[in-house]
Structure 1
Amino acid sequence: MTDRITARRTAAFLWTHWRRFPGAAALLIFLMLLSVAFDVAFPLVSGRLVDAVAQAGFPPAEADVDLAVLALLLFLGQGVGFHVSRRLAMLVWAGFASRVMRNIVTEAFHRVQRYSAEWHSNSFAGSTVRKITRGMWAYDTLADTLFIGIFPTICVLIGVIVSIAFHWPLIGLYVLAGIAVYFTLTILLVKYYVAPKNLLNVAADSAMGGAIADAITCNPVVKSFGAEAREDIRLSRLTLDWARKARRAWRSMDISMLAQVGVLLAMQAGLIGLVILFWTRGEATAGDVAYAMTSYLLINGYLRDIGFHMQNLQQGMNEIEDVIRYADTDPEDRADAGLPALGVAGGAIRFEDVHFRYPNGNGAFYRGLSLDIPAGARFALVGQSGSGKSTFVKLLQRLYEPDEGRILIDGQDIASVNRESLRRAIALVPQEPVLFHRSIGENIAYARPGATQAEIAEAARLAHADEFIARLPQGMETLVGERGVKLSGGERQRIAIARAFLADAPILVLDEATSSLDSITESYIQDAIERLMEGRTTIVIAHRLSTIRRMDRILVFERGRIVEEGSHADLMARKDGVFRHLQAVQLSAARNVLAESA
């Protein structure tokens, strides 16, 4: 179970962001304290105005009128001062809050982007997006509650208690006790009654958002199986669970508010009752009664809202927890700080006694894998699914780290260079390319953002993508849809190949890069790939063994070990060889497909 984020850690997270803008923070505190001072003065000027009117005779004397006018001016000045200072504080707060929220979401995105491949494989993309955006808005709720709600409330209550105690120490003590009971009751209710239900509601909200994102992302699969109704039912279960938990969370807030209202009514009865008692004894004037009533109204207004503030505070703390965890989780490249960039001259690759097992215990594992790939050589990796081919590339890219042993490129241990430079030195064309929902030109240029339009067009031409791009109404500016769904598989593959041309990296990895192409296009692409491989160290993950005849060397993997290696001719010459057996199985399967289609 994930550890809870403490209130102290949440406060430290907020302070980390607030202290970046010290001038704005100081101005905000000053303006808010100024508005609090004007608010605390409201009962005082109200009482003086009532006394000025009540104590004057009729018709009032000139001195009485002057006193009443002065009291009225103080009363009006208090209102103007409060509203002007509070509005100025809100104007400054809007800019301050928007900057902090921007920092929170961009920094969370920055860190998540740099988490390990293992982290991303174990995390639900839809939920991660939901947590980041919800965390940004949770800050808005949390910060508004603290600065606009709780901070002025505490300051006003302290000011009013001191003011009342100065007039009547006994009543001041009574009000202090009532406020203490109210705060204690509110905190206990929120912590032990409201918060647990709200946490369940937040978890259900994440599950619901993640399920929606998952279904929409995989909509082509849903449509291909006619499973819309099935997905509706699945989401209906999650929304029903969310609705139940949300209802319980909201009802818990209403019930807790009833208890808080009881404390407020008791405080009202005691405060006004004691002042009336003093009035009957001649120890309080009509203005004092007005002062006590307006003091209670001020206290009631702030305490009535403190229930909302405490609930919002707890909700905000619950919802911002995930973003704080992201801030506390080190990205995989944190250890890269100060490491030099990889310098690639030829692109020779060497695995030295590499041991590796996936953290979850699944997949291929290596036990003492050693091999050398000379600079400029063309190596193919073959074997059944799960034999270790893809693991080889993941280790080469440092998506995972070996448990033991070293991996070197041109004699440099890749663990001693920064990951960014390592991955820039490797151009990967995957079997199933993923494109951004951006233009074709942007997708090709992703390999080299500074490329000119002419360079992008040339890369497209080399990948034989220029022909289908020219037929599109918007050409290079055509948006490809989420993950490239607006393009065919072959078109997406050609965009990925064009991207590799533009990257111009010294090491090339091809994960059966022509598997999605028709036979005519494949013949064009094979020529382009031949040119692309010239002068580069090339690793081909082969699924169709017929495509690797011209490789310098073929490595046959089986359960994380290299069981055979050699040229295509050498391996085919071995009568009982693993490679020859794999080739025979594929040929037999191909013949059966042809026979069935005929």
Structure 2
Amino acid sequence: MSRRSTPFRRAADAPALPADTGRFILYCLRDFRKWLVLMLLLEAGQAAGSILVPYAIKRLMDGVAAGGALVETLKEPLLLFAALNVAEILFSRASGAVLVTVGPRLRQKTARDLYAYLQHHSAQYFSNHFAGALAHRISETAVSVNHTLWAILFDFWPIVITFGCTCGLLFRAHEQLGLFVAGWMAVYVLISYWLATRCQPYAQEFAAVRSRVNGKIVDAVTNILNTKQFARLRHEREQLDTQLEAEVRAGRRTFWYMEKVRWFQFIAAAILKLGTVYYALTLWEAGSIGAGDFAMSASLALLIIGDARNLSRRFLEFFEYLGNVANGVDALVQPHGIVDAPGAEPLRVTQGRIEFREVRFGYQPERPVFDGLNVVLEPGQRVGLVGFSGSGKSTFVSLILRNYEPQSGQILIDGQDIARATQDSLHRQIGLIPQDPTLFHRSLRDNIGYGRPDAADADIREAARMAHAEGFIEAIPEGYASEVGERGVKLSGGQRQRIAIARVMLKDAPILILDEATSSLDSVTEQAIQDNLDRAMGKKTVIAIAHRLSTIAHLDRILVFDKGRIVEDGRHEELLAQRGFYHRMWAMQAGGFLPEDGG
């Protein structure tokens, strides 16, 4: 089904970005309309001032040829000549000042709106796209919107003014001369456009190959230590050489085509120069035009060649900018997978009761993970989820977080359907400690206090102490002000996990989800943190996913999942006594952990 035939879902708080490239660019420009009109006028003035200089020279030559008092005769042409040069300077620099004012703001607005729109995409969208690629798309699209506008304002619009003024001046001098140059312009523009469209596939292929080479280099550099460890330095160089050779071939195809374009440009320029000068000379010799008109014609021919010579390249760059914008819009401005329902209300959690009511869900609807799932987690219960890989534990949690939406049924928290609540209010009521936590490249203080921006330093330190993070933080020279690196790479896995635990403890949400929250910790530290977690849980409703069954054996209740069904439900001792599925998993534990499957 085409994108246009389905309703375009957009979050209410998201910018109303159009999914069409042209309309998207116009949307980005709408706040700058007055500035753009001013720039059009200034660029028109600058181009006209430049192209009218030969007319002033014609007036000067006509004055000299007329004889008489040169001072009086040439006074007006000289003033015109000076005024045109001054106008060219003033108009161009005024346009430059507007560009300095508008350019950064336009890029800022485009990037800000794209990021604001991106924020509302679902978890499934982000799982299907690389974070680095999305960030690059935002930056590249914002830059390309600017470049598209500048190409129109500073490349094509001045050429339109230049060609128009030239034709007007030459028609005024002699109609046939004007027709000759106008005909040359029309043919030149059409052929330049055609050549640019023919060259575009070569340029796109070259860009794609360059992108692959960059990706290969990034991959090789990222894994340089593995390369050394396996003594594969020569192999990686050979792999890169293969990619670089493909880049050379693609580059040669593009550059040879561009060389053909330059042959056309130089030949066309020569035709214009020779044709205009010869024709003007013939007309002057016949007495149809004066010496001033002859000089003006030659000067205009030289000036418009300078503007027109790179027209094919400008068309090609313009198409490239439009292509970048189109790619960015196509990747980023997609329908939002999950949006707040009309009239959605904030979720109010007073007890923490969670209910799944006839929930049917599948990542692919025809292959459901849950088919009519019913279960209730009572307020304040601490519930463990166990089961082999793929049994539905993570899906259960993802549905509570509303990372995905069920195809049918309801998920209720304190009797409120989470599908009718705002997503922000839902997430404020849930604390999540993931198995592989990621941190912002910010200070430890900022990371711990992220869920409670107004938290005092004493509260942040207390949360760190309860998560057994205080010791290693104070051992760092900069302490809580120390930055953790991209995704927390400056910290070990256990240190990142302790910061994530501290962050959730400080947030103090009424519902707590633990996804192997202490899997990266040694047993002594794990037990100490587990005791603090037990105290922090208080009256919260707690959901804990575990592969190490001993970490959840003390909880109030354990749900055993198998192929999307809850096959057993009870306390640890009760489930062992049943000698069923849970008992078999308990007996199968290897080193305290469950195997991947029950085979």
TM-score of the superposed pair, with normalisation by structure 2:
0.90
- The letter of the residue matching 1:564 is E
Report the secondary structure of 1:406's partner residue.
Answer: strand
Indicate which of 56, 61, 69 corresponds to 1:45. Answer: 56
Report the secondary structure of 2:309's partner residue.
Answer: helix
Would the alpha carbon gap of residues 190 and 276 (structure 1) be closer, same or farther in structure 2, given more than 3 Å must change? same
For 1:166, the equivalent position in structure 2 comes to 172
Contact 1:553 1:565 in 2 (8 A): yes
1:292-307 equivalent positions in 2, closer than 5 A: 292-307=297-312
Contact 1:111 1:326 in 2 (8 A): no
Specify every segment of 5 or more residues in structure 1 that has no aligned partner in the other structure, as ranges: 593-598
Would the alpha carbon gap of residues 334 and 198 (structure 1) be closer, same or farther in structure 2, given more than 3 Å must change? farther
Would the alpha carbon gap of residues 483 and 328 (structure 1) be closer, same or farther in structure 2, given more than 3 Å must change? closer
How far did 1:333 drift? 5.2
Would the alpha carbon gap of residues 140 and 221 (structure 1) be closer, same or farther in structure 2, given more than 3 Å must change? farther
Indicate which of 204, 207, 212 corresponds to 1:202. Answer: 207
1:73-88 equivalent positions in 2, closer than 5 A: 73-88=79-94
How far did 1:550 drift? 1.6
Equivalent-residue separation in structure 2 for 1:359 and 1:218 (angstroms): 34
How far did 1:500 drift? 0.5
1:190 and 2:196 aligned: yes
1:518 and 2:522 aligned: yes
For 1:178, the equivalent position in structure 2 comes to 184
For 1:595, the equivalent position in structure 2 comes to none
1:351 and 2:356 aligned: yes
How far did 1:460 drift? 0.9
Contact 1:127 1:207 in 2 (8 A): no
- The letter of the residue matching 1:103 is K
Equivalent-residue separation in structure 1 for 2:334 and 2:216 (angstroms): 25
For 1:124, the equivalent position in structure 2 comes to 130
1:120-269 equivalent positions in 2, closer than 5 A: 120-191=126-197, 193-211=198-216, 237-269=242-274
Equivalent-residue separation in structure 1 for 2:365 and 2:249 (angstroms): 34
How far did 1:86 drift? 0.8
- The letter of the residue matching 1:90 is G
1:442 and 2:446 aligned: yes
How far did 1:138 drift? 2.2
Indicate which of 22, 29, 33 corresponds to 2:40. Answer: 29
For 1:12, the equivalent position in structure 2 comes to 23
For 1:578, the equivalent position in structure 2 comes to 581
Indicate which of 303, 323, 329 corresponds to 1:324. Answer: 329
Cα shift readout 1:316-355 (whole Å, capped 9, x = no counterpart): 1122222222563233455456522211111111111111
Equivalent-residue separation in structure 2 for 1:357 and 1:387 (angstroms): 12
How far did 1:541 drift? 0.3
Contact 1:469 1:475 in 2 (8 A): yes
Equivalent-residue separation in structure 2 for 1:325 and 1:513 (angstroms): 37
Cα shift readout 1:256-303 (whole Å, capped 9, x = no counterpart): 232233223222232222211111111111111111011112221221
Would the alpha carbon gap of residues 122 and 229 (structure 1) be closer, same or farther in structure 2, given more than 3 Å must change? farther
Specify every segment of 5 or more residues in structure 2 that has no aligned partner in the other structure, as ranges: 5-18
Cα shift readout 1:552-586 (whole Å, capped 9, x = no counterpart): 211111111111111101110122x1111111111
Contact 2:548 2:594 in 1 (8 A): no
Indicate which of 386, 394, 397 corresponds to 2:398. Answer: 394
Report the secondary structure of 1:450's partner residue.
Answer: coil
How far did 1:361 drift? 8.1
Equivalent-residue separation in structure 2 for 1:244 and 1:425 (angstroms): 57
How far did 1:383 drift? 0.6
Contact 2:434 2:514 in 1 (8 A): yes
1:310 and 2:315 aligned: yes
Cα shift readout 1:377-413 (whole Å, capped 9, x = no counterpart): 1111101111111111111111111112111111111
Contact 1:42 1:78 in 2 (8 A): yes
Equivalent-residue separation in structure 2 for 1:449 and 1:477 (angstroms): 15
How far did 1:511 drift? 0.9
How far did 1:416 drift? 1.2
User: Identity, % of aligned pairs?
Assistant: 37
563-572 vs 417-426, which moves further: 417-426
How far did 1:591 drift? 13
Contact 2:213 2:244 in 1 (8 A): yes
Would the alpha carbon gap of residues 314 and 423 (structure 1) be closer, same or farther in structure 2, given more than 3 Å must change? same
Equivalent-residue separation in structure 1 for 2:181 and 2:213 (angstroms): 46
1:365 and 2:369 aligned: yes
Would the alpha carbon gap of residues 231 and 116 (structure 1) be closer, same or farther in structure 2, given more than 3 Å must change? farther
Report the secondary structure of 2:141's partner residue.
Answer: helix
46-55 vs 565-574, which moves further: 46-55
How far did 1:476 drift? 0.4
TM-score of the superposed pair, with normalisation by structure 1:
0.90
Equivalent-residue separation in structure 1 for 2:359 and 2:327 (angstroms): 36
- The letter of the residue matching 1:28 is M
How far did 1:367 drift? 1.4
Would the alpha carbon gap of residues 202 and 225 (structure 1) be closer, same or farther in structure 2, given more than 3 Å must change? same
Report the secondary structure of 2:345's partner residue.
Answer: coil
For 1:275, the equivalent position in structure 2 comes to 280
Equivalent-residue separation in structure 1 for 2:131 and 2:233 (angstroms): 21
For 2:10, the equivalent position in structure 1 comes to none
Cα shift readout 1:462-505 (whole Å, capped 9, x = no counterpart): 21211221111111011212222222222111101001111111
- The letter of the residue matching 1:39 is S
Cα shift readout 1:353-384 (whole Å, capped 9, x = no counterpart): 1111114989x811111111111111111011
